[in-house]
Structure 1
Amino acid sequence: MRVTEKGQVTIPKEIRDRLNIGPGSEVDFVADEKGARLVVVSSGDHAPSKDDFETWLKSRSGTFDTGGMTTDEFMEFLRGPRDDLGSR
């Protein structure tokens, strides 16, 4: 197997099939005393389910604090005051 200039290698089809590695799969390389091992982190063969999204959404709950600002106040904080809303 040859490494490209970008540091990429092609995983042989037999290995991809055996480990169920497909488009969207996550893999990692782990170094040990004998060299490196390919570890499948997640297979890319399933579509995310509603439960996956809800689990992710719950994990994000409470991680963002606007300090009590309303949406409009927060947008102004991010963008600065709008010049086009001045008095007419």
Structure 2
Amino acid sequence: MSTLTVTAKGQVTLRKDLLEHLGVHPGDKISIEKLPGGRVEVRAVRPTGEISDAFGFLKGKTNGQSLSIEDMNEIIAEGWAGKR
């Protein structure tokens, strides 16, 4: 069992081992459910949906242009190199 300290602002920081146990990383979300008896349940929020939800999300944002695989690879390489 872990013991956490509440700050003056009423905040609690979960330690790294607890976050790893939940499988969450910076930017991820967790949910807290209040249970009877002053207990809470902490869970990692997992994205829901289907792969088809991503289809068409760029529609109208490409100005009608198509990119070749080579163009895409170049843009990706520039992004990894910090040029974009």
Normalised by the size of structure 1, how large is the TM-score? 0.44
Q: Which of the two has higher C-alpha Rg?
A: 1
